[in-house]
Amino acid sequence: MLIRSLATLALPALALLSSCKAVPPEALSAAEAWLALVDSGQYAQSWTEAAPVFKAATDTPGWERSLNGVRAPLGKVLSRTVNSSIATTKLPGAPDGEYVVVLFDTSFEHKQAATETVTPMKDQDGRWRVSGYYIR
């Protein structure tokens, strides 16, 4: 599934702690703003706002199909808190760069306890954009 393939940029990063540094607040803000698009059902806009590496993994219709199949059935977000965040410059299967792996503890209308992994990266223009998303 597409969301699993995007997770290749998110989940294995936790094993690469040797390249960690302080988490920029702009990265957390980018993750939260991007999640707000997903939460409101603006799936196409979340694709538009994502990092080029994210867009290279899927097109807009594919992303919308994935979220309609996986995220939409969970219902509304009831609560979301940052569990942890880690900055790194290396992720498996991704070019070296500035990344932050953020784990959110999220409660949905139809799933009481979930973990969302959002991986913003600093783009060439200096903006932080989401490069990976995974729900479990």
Q: What is the 3-state secondary structure (H, E, C) of 64-88?
A: HHHHHHHCHHHCCEEEEEEEEEEEE
pLDDT digits (tens, 9 = 90+) for 85-129: 999 999 988 899 999 999 999 999 999 999 999 999 999 999 999
Per-residue pLDDT band for 18 (boundaries 50, 70, 90) equals very low
pLDDT of 17 reads 43
Region 28-43: mean pLDDT is 97
Pair of tokens at residue 10: 């998110």
Q: What's the domain count of the chain?
A: 1
Q: What is the CATH number of the domain that holds 122?
A: 3.10.450.100
Domain of residue 106 covers 2-135
Per-residue pLDDT band for 20 (boundaries 50, 70, 90) equals low
pTM, two decimals, is: 0.84
